[in-house]
Amino acid sequence: MHVELTKQGDIALLTLNRPEALNALSFDILQQIGSAIDEVASYNDVRALIITGAGDKAFCAGADIKELRNRRLIDQKRGAELGQAMFAKLDRLPVASIALVNGYAFGGGAELAMACTFRLASSHAVFGLPEVKLGLIPGYGGTQRLPRLVGESRAMEIIMTGRNVKADEAERIGLVNRVVEGDLMEAGLEFAGKFTRYSLPVLEFARRAVQRAGDTSLQEGLQVEADLSTLAYRLNDAEEGMAAFEEKRRAEFKDG
C-alpha cells in the first residue's frame, strides 16, 4: 500500500508513501486515497485530516506518466473522472483537511493540495501544473480550483505557461495559507489546533457557506449563509458559546 492512514490524537494523517517515485499518483493510488478519505469520514473521534508525502523531496510529483501512454480515449476520460471524484471526497468530508506540501507538488499533486481546505508549505515547496508541456491540460480539478484560489488571470498564466510557483509566491498569491520554517508536521498540527476545538457541525456549516461563494450568485450565497447560520443557532453549541462569552470562560462544545 502506498497510502498510509494513521491517527495522532484527534487528527487523521494520510501519507503518500512512494518516495522513490516522488509519491507519484497511479490510478491504484488514487483509489487508495479515496478509500482512506472514506475511512476518515467514518471516524467519530477525528477533528481534522492532514495529508502529506513521505520523504523531504516531494508532496506528490503528479500522475504516473507511464500509465497515461497508449490509452483509449474513453479510458483517459474515465481516468480524469476518477481523479476528480477521489479529490472531491475532500469537499464532502465532515472535517477540514490540511495539505502539508513538503517539496514538489506538480500536476495531480498540486490538484490534491488544492482540493484540501488549507495548504501549508515548506520554504522549499514548489507548485506547478505542467501538463501543457506534455500536450495535455490539468484533469483532476486544476483548471477549476486554481482560479478559485488565485483568480482567473493568474491561474490562466500558471496553467498556460506550465511554470513553477515557489513557496513564497504561492503564499503571496493565495495558493497556500502560509510558508513554514521548521518542522512542517508540527506546524500542521498546531494549525489544526486553532480550529479543531470549536464545534464540528458549526465548522462544517462555515465551510459549506464559503464553498458556495465560488459557484453561486451573491444573492443565492447570502440565502445559503442565512440558512446555515440558522441551523447553527439551533445547536446546543450555540447556546454554550454565547453563555461562555457572557460568563468570560472558554466554551466547552459538544458537537451538537
Give the residue numbers annotated as catalytic, written as ranges. Answer: 111, 131
User: What's residue 112's pLDDT?
Assistant: 98
Indicate whether 95 pLDDT > 90.
Answer: yes
Residue range 117-124: average pLDDT? 97
Write down the domain spans for the chain.
3-193, 200-246
User: What's residue 178's pLDDT?
Assistant: 97
- pLDDT one-digit tens code per residue, 161-173: 999 999 999 999 9
Residue range 14-19: average pLDDT? 96
Indicate whether 83 pLDDT > 80.
Answer: yes
- pLDDT one-digit tens code per residue, 212-247: 888 889 999 999 999 999 999 999 999 999 999 999
Indicate whether 64 pLDDT > 80.
Answer: no
User: What's residue 66's pLDDT?
Assistant: 78
Residue range 114-132: average pLDDT? 97
Neighbour-count burial of 200, counting CB atoms closer than 10 A to its CB (0-12 exposed, 13-18 middle, 19+ buried): buried
Indicate whether 131 pLDDT > 80.
Answer: yes
- pTM for the model stands at 0.94
- pLDDT one-digit tens code per residue, 17-50: 999 999 999 999 999 999 999 999 999 999 999 9
The confidence band for 11, taking pLDDT boundaries of 50, 70 and 90, is very high
Residue range 46-70: average pLDDT? 89
Fold of the 3-193 domain: 2-enoyl-CoA Hydratase; Chain A, domain 1 (3.90.226)
